[in-house]
Structure 1
């Protein structure tokens, strides 16, 4: 009993240290975004000046809108394609072929972003696609699809095959099976895939840096460009708002997951044994 209590205590201490290492720089950045002194050494007074500068910067507002539109569009398309890919993997009967497809999917996730970005740059140059919104969109869709597949695939594997068989025996068409059985059961995985793809698209820098053109930019590339020019607390303010927006996304995903779990439990209880 004492060993178990000690292990739990050490686990909590370790978790606390990890959380401090991860979040201390973020809170440090957020704290000095309100510093009227204009530096990150001593806090001289509270001000919202740098937040006003962010909202008064027309170029930055346009880049934020571009980034959000890009993330939503690429995440939606990647989720649709990832759902189709997960269905295709599940439908493969031979386990060896299925594992091969899944391994090929996973390779894209663990591949370095620099390699992926450079590969897309070479590809777009060869094909003749002009660097800009379309090149960034295609890149974000491509690296988001493997993530959505991994989020959706476990839910498809959990779904009993008898549900689909029962629906077909009752006369359901292929479309009805998809919309009335498969989609409701995998809703949580679909939400998870969409929000993961959304956060990856919002945060991505390495791939976007390679494929963005001179007339188009995303928030991560813009922050990097401004940070190279020197410390500006407007970057702190912008980063603080992005962090809070991410927290809101996580909260939305959490509540949607709770709702989806409740619906899945009721869905299972309604299925006859």
Structure 2
């Protein structure tokens, strides 16, 4: 191993340590029987038991999951349609403009997006709550799906569509039997990214949620302001583990979809 590769390895270790050390610290003290984050007095599952006995928290967790699944599913459908629309725009100038507009929501600060949605919902008369949160999550998830799907559409050869047309395939056959199967990895990637973004979002949700409705991120913030409670540590640990499972699930789905393509490339 040369000096450059050693330096790169050390640098990556430091970066990952900085990123994960606070999470591991939080997870470690979620098992502390002492009730503080200073001295670890003993192992306990008391705080996890309190999480599952908290009816309000369970309802909020279900709200968060429903919002995440609905927004991910709807934004995946809209994102695939948007990516197809961008791909079939013939003028390069218009195509680049659409891609730039798609990227605006991704690069814009969450505070600006949240405030914009709040003003819009107030003007058009949408009550803050489930509907406003769902619409906001769909809005900031669609550009993510588009970005995930576009590369798969761009790498697909036009000869595949031409061959399907020569064989008598209709437009629906081309879409359902050629295009969609080819871009399936991008669709899965977009869905999982939209799901994790929805589960983790705080800034936008904080602006558009109303009285009587909350998500886990907003609830954790509200409870953390009232003082340190290891129940928050336990809840945060559970959320992190769920997110980790989603990422691992996406990885295996991606690997599974990549194997047939790799086999097709190796086939003479």
| Structure-2-length-normalised TM-score | 0.98
Q: Which residue of 2 aligns with 1:23?
A: 20
Kept after mapping to 2: 8 A contact 1:163/1:181: yes
Q: Distance in 2 between matches of 1:20 and 1:268?
A: 38
The worse-fitting range, judged by mean Cα deviation, of 181-190 and 47-56 is 181-190
Question: Cα 1:265–1:179, aligned 2, differ >3 Å: closer, same or farther?
Answer: farther
Gaps of 5+ in 2: none
- How far is the alpha carbon of 1:237 from its aligned partner? 0.3
1:38 aligned to 35, 53, 56, which one? 35
- How far is the alpha carbon of 1:81 from its aligned partner? 0.4
- How far is the alpha carbon of 1:264 from its aligned partner? 2.7
Q: Which residue of 2 aligns with 1:124?
A: 121
Q: Distance in 2 between matches of 1:115 and 1:253?
A: 30
Kept after mapping to 2: 8 A contact 1:83/1:149: yes
Q: Which residue of 1 aligns with 2:67?
A: 70
SS class of match (2:210): coil
Kept after mapping to 2: 8 A contact 1:185/1:264: no
Correspondence 1:13 to 2:30: no
Q: Which residue of 2 aligns with 1:215?
A: 212
Correspondence 1:224 to 2:221: yes
Q: Distance in 2 between matches of 1:261 and 1:89?
A: 25
Q: Distance in 2 between matches of 1:164 and 1:135?
A: 40
Correspondence 1:109 to 2:111: no
Q: Which residue of 1 aligns with 2:241?
A: 244
Gaps of 5+ in 1: none
- How far is the alpha carbon of 1:262 from its aligned partner? 1.4
Matched positions, count: 268
Displacement over 2 Å in runs of 4+: 263-270
1:117-176 Cα offsets, whole Å, 9 max, x none, are 111011111111111100000000000001100000000001001111111111111111
Kept after mapping to 2: 8 A contact 1:149/1:193: yes
Q: How does 1:126-145 map to 2 (within 5 A)?
A: 126-145=123-142
Q: Distance in 1 between matches of 2:163 and 2:19?
A: 49
| Structure-1-length-normalised TM-score | 0.96
Q: Which residue of 1 aligns with 2:172?
A: 175
Kept after mapping to 2: 8 A contact 1:223/1:235: yes
Q: Distance in 1 between matches of 2:143 and 2:263?
A: 30
1:38-90 Cα offsets, whole Å, 9 max, x none, are 00001000000000000000000000011011001000100110000000111
Q: How does 1:145-224 map to 2 (within 5 A)?
A: 145-224=142-221
- How far is the alpha carbon of 1:263 from its aligned partner? 2.5
